Amino acid sequence: MVKVKTPEKLFHISSSVGYRPSRIFCVGANYRKHVEEMGLPGRESPFYFMKPREALIQGDGLSTLAVDYPPQTKELDYEVELVVLIGQAGSMVPEENALDWVGGLGVGIDFTRRDLQRKLREKNQPWELSKAFEQSAPVSSFVDLHNINFEGSSLALDINLSVNGKIKQRANTRDMIFSVSEIIADLSLYFTLLPGDLLFTGTPEGVGPVFPGDILEANIPGLPSLRVSIE
Ligand code: MN
């Protein structure tokens, strides 16, 4: 049985707000080379799917976070992603000021039952079974945006993921098709964003499967890292 381990409050290194985790919004196919490797068409606006709070688990930055290998898949894939913590309520957020809505940044893994996702996509069915399961959204601790160097209104952060010490994904968040600001502005047309909402911003190329016993390390230099073991 895969346990639900949703944290009551999110670890945040530079804030004492005590954000309670809320919705988890995920952007699909947001790096060109990943879109190519998945054989997906390009698009003019972002698309989203969601994970429930029960998908969330959080590392404390010190210990390794144990993730149970989920049932009903033979192809559990990692997807390393920049994760944005929404810090204040907002709708119709202007893109120019969208980073004012960022309450913290962290790194996360969007675990995916890839075999199931492929089948669901072929049948034009929703993705929940492949994306929204318990423990499918491990995240690091968060830090304040102002603790990080970024260029103007766009975040340019190196991001990488290793499995058993071998780098599998390496990119920069400037390669996103839709920037963090564009995503916040667009998503806020459809939802009232709330403090504690999380935004997984898409994964770069190099996704692949993991197996019990594997150790994954997700890193964005300057942010707390995330270390996960597959049980
Ligand atoms: Mn993803």
What's the 201 CA to ligand 1 centre distance in angstroms? 7
Residue 192: how many CB atoms within 10 A of its CB?
Answer: 10
| Length of the chain, in residues | 231
CA distance 225 to 23: 22
What's the 137 CA to ligand 1 centre distance in angstroms? 10
Q: Is the pLDDT of residue 155 over 90?
A: no
What's the 155 CA to ligand 1 centre distance in angstroms? 18
What's the 37 CA to ligand 1 centre distance in angstroms? 13
Q: Give CA separation, 102 vs 33, 67, 87, 89, 200, in Å.
A: 26, 27, 5, 10, 13
Instruction: Say what the pTM is.
Output: 0.96
Q: Select from 218, 189, 7, 219 the least CA-distant residue to 228.
A: 218
Q: Is the pLDDT of residue 172 over 90?
A: yes
pLDDT digits over 76-100, tens only?
999 999 999 999 999 999 999 999 9
More confident position, 35 or 154: 35
pLDDT digits over 175-205, tens only?
999 999 999 999 999 999 999 999 999 999 9
SS3 217: strand
List the end-to-end C-alpha distance of the chain, in Å, as a whole number. 12
> Environment class of residue 83 by beta-carbon count within 10 Å: exposed (0-12), middle (13-18) or buried (19+)?
buried
What's the 82 CA to ligand 1 centre distance in angstroms? 10
Task: Supply the pLDDT for residue 150.
Answer: 65
What's the 15 CA to ligand 1 centre distance in angstroms? 26
- 210 within 8 A of 67, measured Cβ to Cβ: no
Mean pLDDT score of the chain: 94
More confident position, 5 or 76: 76
Task: Supply the pLDDT for residue 103.
Answer: 96
What's the 75 CA to ligand 1 centre distance in angstroms? 15
What's the 112 CA to ligand 1 centre distance in angstroms? 8
What's the 27 CA to ligand 1 centre distance in angstroms? 6
pLDDT digits over 222-231, tens only?
899 999 999 9
Q: Is the pLDDT of residue 169 over 70?
A: yes
Element (H, E) at 66: strand 65-67
What's the 205 CA to ligand 1 centre distance in angstroms? 11
Q: Is the pLDDT of residue 153 over 80?
A: no
Residues, beta carbon < 5 Å, ion ligand 1: 79, 110, 203
What's the 29 CA to ligand 1 centre distance in angstroms? 7
CA Rg value for the chain: 16
CA distance 218 to 159: 8
Task: Supply the pLDDT for residue 42.
Answer: 72
What's the 118 CA to ligand 1 centre distance in angstroms? 14
